[in-house]
Amino acid sequence: TPEDIQALRELLEKGTKSPGTYLPGRRGEDHLQVITVINFKGGSGKTTTAAHLAQKLALDGYRVLAIDLDPQASLSALHGVQPEFDLENGGTIYDAIRYDDPVPLTQIIQKTYFTNLDLIPGNLELMEYEHETPRAIIERSGKIFFTRIGDALAEVEAKYDVVVIDCPPQLGFLTMSALSAATAILVTVHPQMLDVMSMCQFLLMTSNLLGVVADAGADMNYDWMRYVVTRYEPGDGPQNQMVSFMRSLFGENVLNHPVLKSTAISDAGITKQTLYEVEKSAFNRSTYERAMESLNAVNGEIEALIQQSWGRSGK
């Protein structure tokens, strides 16, 4: 079981002379990695990417906290939380960042059925933050809005190696708060002309708004920013042209590996599961293996970036 594997990791790590061989997470002065997954346009595979990244890191021995910042709460549903039933009395990150009587973040973190992976679920209550922040800005009440997620994460920083934040598909106060708390940014892109155009508009707006936030005192320096191509069909000529166009524009900031469009991933989602959970026998073998290889390659690139941000070249 994953619990057994983690116990073996901890046992073997104690006996090795090379720290990080079996537990690849933070050591010494390594800072918490906060990866914010964003896109302005729905359907870009943002939640799918965030969920598989969080789960793969947890399976590889990292201590991971996943935060669902999207009021639609798809990331929560993938991990067995039914927002409309399970969170009737709160339980989202809104409780920890609201302007009146916030609660400690530890009170809203939930364990998942994945070893090493905890979750802060989301629901429609998150929209209250979008509604309350303008009034708080006018009244100058409490801490500045863009520091609130970062301040909340500071309470539990020692417990985790990586935080993965699934942002809503809009550029509101929640997204700007997540970008202010982030140490790294992952932009999901579906390689079609309208999606790439939408992404460019999103990045322009984000740049302008974050410039204002930076002038107000936020730290907008990131360890890395990458674009990941999602729902990619290798045999689609126009998609290949768009990927080539993106690589000519953004160079090495586009991950080398794309996330393939796969019936294995979409069919797993129907049962509120990821590819790391479903039974392999439920799919055509080659379909499953192509999808798994694609996800592992993308997540492996991101893991290498995490290690580099800690000054290490490998696990």
pLDDT at 226 (0 to 100): 94
**pLDDT score, position 142:** 57
Residue 240 has pLDDT above 50, yes or no: yes
Least-confidence region, from 81-90, 100-109, 301-310? 81-90
Mean pLDDT of all residues in 253-261 = 94
| Burial classification of residue 79, based on how many CB atoms lie within 10 Å of its CB (0-12 exposed, 13-18 middle, 19 or more buried) | buried
Asked whether 266 and 294 are in contact (CB, 8 A), the reply is no
Q: Over the stretch 7-51, which tens digit does the pLDDT of each residue have?
A: 999 999 998 888 888 999 999 899 999 999 998 777 778 999 999
Q: What is the mean pLDDT of the chain?
A: 89
pLDDT at residue 216 tops 70: no
Torsion of CA 66, 256, 233, 75, to 10 degrees: 0
- Whole-angstrom Cα distance, residue 308 to residue 66? 21
Is the pLDDT reported for residue 314 higher than 70? no
Q: pLDDT tens digit string along 101-145?
A: 899 999 999 999 999 999 999 999 999 999 988 888 777 655 677
Half-sphere exposure of 119 (CA within 13 A, CB side): 24
pTM (2 decimals)?
A: 0.92
Task: Name the pLDDT band for 315 (thresholds 50, 70, 90).
Answer: very low
SS3 for 195-222, per residue?
A: HHHHHHHHHHHHHHHHHHHHHCCCCCCC
Lookup: tokens for 266: 């979409």
Residue 152 CB neighbours (<10 A): 23
What pLDDT score was predicted for residue 146?
83
